[in-house]
Amino acid sequence: MSTQVFYFVATLSIIFSLMVIFAKNPIHSVLYLILTFFTFTVHYVLLNAQFLAVVNFIVYMGAIMVLFLFVLMLLNLNKDTEPSKSPLIKIVGVIAGCCLVVTLIGSLKSASINSPLVLKNQGLGLVENLGKELFGPFLLPFELSSLLLLAAMVGAVLLSKRDEVEA
Amino acid sequence: MDSAFVIEKFILVAVIFGISLVIAMYSTYAERKVAAYLQDRLGPDRAGPFGILQPLADGVKMFMKEEIIPTTSNRFLFVAGPGLALLCACIGTAVIPWGSPIEIGGKTIPLQVSDINVGVLYIFGVVSLGVYGVMIGGWASNNKYSLLSAIRAASQNISYEIAMGLSIIALLLMTNTLSLKEIVDQQHGWRWNVLYQPLGFLIFMVCSFAETNRAPFDLPECETELIGGYHTEYSSMKLGFYLFAEYINMFVSSAVMAALYWGGYNYPGMDYVAAHLGPTWAPLIGTGVFFLKIVLFIFFFMWVRWTIPRFRYDQLMNLGWKGLIPLAIANIIITGVVIAIIEKF
């Protein structure tokens, strides 16, 4: 049952992620990205990581994607304003894509499907256990990353303030 | 999964869905009656005694009106917008505990569709998802005013979500759980959270007003600047969906406020009632009390709408970012310090 759901949702994830790239309209692209994130939420639920699932739901689907949509709606992107790409960039893109495909095929060959990942602690994704892990053994990395986020936030505010003074 | 469980949950979902729709329907009637009372008018009184059939008449009107889809950038999204708005409004009811478990014919049935252990966060996620209906509909309308309204809705939603989340954190420090059922059960009798978290409740309530786009925060549908806001281009039942979604949102956020801060189905003297009426009737009375609280909150929403004028956009942003967020953070610090002191001694 669970495996079937996984394969169904995984197929949806791949289809929606491809649609993100193939959609002509940037707003449709973002909407497909939201659907992709929704399938990720389902994956987290399947892994019994409820906290991650709901945080992914709130932060990525509910906040970051709203901001993406917000910015795109303000920018009013359409075919006329799309910058034309030079042939050089296109050639570089093709080469980079081919490299990626080679890497992916190489890694797929070495990956074996006979060793499914089994969680040591099934309840790790629940809020209580996750909190104990984060504030116990992983306290220092946790605090450091929050400091990093704070620095980024202050930096963003400073940058926008400086613009205001110059204008 | 045994079929009895599925049937039980299915009935519960159907009943809650029905109640949400009926309450939303009669909220439209109540809104006009309250407005009329506050402005010294009569309000709707033609359809049926005291006009109580007015919502039905409105519903028939909505269904019968001509369907107009403008030459939009996307027809699918134009139709999906209102549907999404209504869906997001309805799914919030899934984790709200409507009453303590009820015993019918020797079977104990929990009056909650799903008691997930991240219930509070689930509500929060659903609330943050609600803005997509407005944004998609506003954008797909291909109308400048609708687009402006969609953008306003997005920025307002994001800004007030932060303060809302911070105000809940102070509450969670006290309750030590994210399950709505446990939070309500902790408020047994008179120990309602609002007595311990008055500031948190105030912030939460203001943010709920903003998240449901109700006055004084109804800038997305500010008719003096934006015609009708995001639903300018909508007519017939698609407009009805948007209006309905607003009232269901109001119902759900009233229920969340009542459950988180005002004790849910708890009331003073509930132990006495439970001892005398038995396990079938006592939970029903608790549910009745819960709905009474919800109705009072809905009335409060309407009272505010017809009393306070709409904010200006910069006032809205100032209140959110410079008023509520620092207050909510101060509330978290005070709560944390007090809890630390209590645990120490």
The answer to whether residue A26 sits within a structural domain is yes
What is the model's pLDDT at position B124?
A: 84
What is the model's pLDDT at position B211?
A: 84
Q: What pLDDT, in 10s, does the model give residues B92-110?
A: 888 888 877 777 766 777 7
As a whole number, mean pLDDT of residues B172-185 equals 83
Q: A82: pLDDT confidence band, cut at 50, 70 and 90?
A: low
Tell which residue, A66, A123, A108, A106, has the closest CA to residue B117: A123
Q: What pLDDT, in 10s, does the model give residues B5-38?
A: 788 888 888 888 888 888 888 888 888 888 888 8
- Shortest CA distance from A56: residue in chain B: B125
| Best A19, A44, A48, A58 residue to mutate vs chain B (most B CBs within 10 Å) | A58
In chain A, residues with a C-beta closer than 8 Å to the C-beta of B155 are 70
**In this structure, are A47 and A113 located in the same domain?**
no
Q: In this structure, what token pair is assigned to residue A111?
A: 């990956």
The answer to whether residue A36 sits within a structural domain is yes
- Say if the ipTM goes beyond 0.90: no
The answer to whether residue A56 sits within a structural domain is yes
- Distance (Å, whole) CA B131 – CA A119: 36
Residues 6+ apart with CB under 8 A from B238: B67, B79, B81, B82
A66 touches chain B (CB under 8 A): yes
What is the model's pLDDT at position A119?
A: 63
- Shortest CA distance from B178: residue in chain A: A127
Distances (CA, A) of B329 to B165, B324, B343: 10, 9, 21
What is the model's pLDDT at position A99?
A: 93
Residue type, A94: V
**In this structure, are A73 and A17 located in the same domain?**
yes
The answer to whether residue A55 sits within a structural domain is yes
Q: A97: pLDDT confidence band, cut at 50, 70 and 90?
A: very high
What is the model's pLDDT at position A80?
A: 58
The b/e string for B222-258 (b: 16+ C-beta within 10 A; e otherwise) is beeebbbbbbbbbeebbbbbbbbbbbbbbbbbbbbbb
- Distance (Å, whole) CA B32 – CA B310: 18
The answer to whether residue A131 sits within a structural domain is no
How would you class B119 by CB atoms within 10 Å of its CB: exposed for 0-12, middle for 13-18, buried for 19 or more?
buried
What is the model's pLDDT at position A120?
A: 66
Q: What pLDDT, in 10s, does the model give residues A5-56?
A: 888 888 989 999 998 888 877 888 888 888 898 898 888 888 877 888 888 8
Q: A76: pLDDT confidence band, cut at 50, 70 and 90?
A: low
Residues 6+ apart with CB under 8 A from A150: none
What is the model's pLDDT at position B259?
A: 87
**In this structure, are A50 and A11 located in the same domain?**
yes
Phi, psi angles (nearest 5°) of residue B289: -60, -40
Q: Which of A78, A103, A135 is the last residue of a domain?
A: A78
How many domains, in total, are found in chain A?
2
As a whole number, mean pLDDT of residues B274-298 equals 82
Mark yes or no for CB contact B150/A73 under 8 Å: yes
- Distance (Å, whole) CA A47 – CA A3: 11
Q: What pLDDT, in 10s, does the model give residues B226-260?
A: 777 777 778 888 888 888 888 888 888 888 888 88
As a whole number, mean pLDDT of residues B277-298 equals 83
Q: What pLDDT, in 10s, does the model give residues B131-165?
A: 888 888 888 887 788 888 888 888 888 888 888 88
**In this structure, are A108 and A40 located in the same domain?**
no
Mark yes or no for CB contact B116/A126 under 8 Å: no
Domain span at residue A67 reads: 1-78
| Best B124, B128, B162 residue to mutate vs chain A (most A CBs within 10 Å) | B128
Residues 101-120 (A) with a CB less than 8 A from some CB of B: none
Percent of chain A residues topping a pLDDT of 70: 81
Instruction: Spell out the SS3 assignment of chain A.
Output: CHHHHHHHHHHHHHHHHHHHHHCCCHHHHHHHHHHHHHHHHHHHHHCCCHHHHHHHHHHHHHHHHHHHHHHHHHHCCCHHHCCCCCHHHHHHHHHHHHHHHHHHHHHHHHCCCCCCCCCCCHHHHCHHHHHHHHHCCCHHHHHHHHHHHHHHHHHHHHHHHHHHHHC
Q: Which of A21, A47, A78 is the last residue of a domain?
A: A78
Q: What pLDDT, in 10s, does the model give residues B40-90?
A: 888 788 877 887 888 888 888 888 888 888 776 677 888 888 888 888 888
The answer to whether residue A30 sits within a structural domain is yes
Tell which residue, B222, B73, B237, has the closest CA to residue B141: B73
What is the model's pLDDT at position A147?
A: 94
Distances (CA, A) of B173 to A49, B45, B177: 22, 49, 8
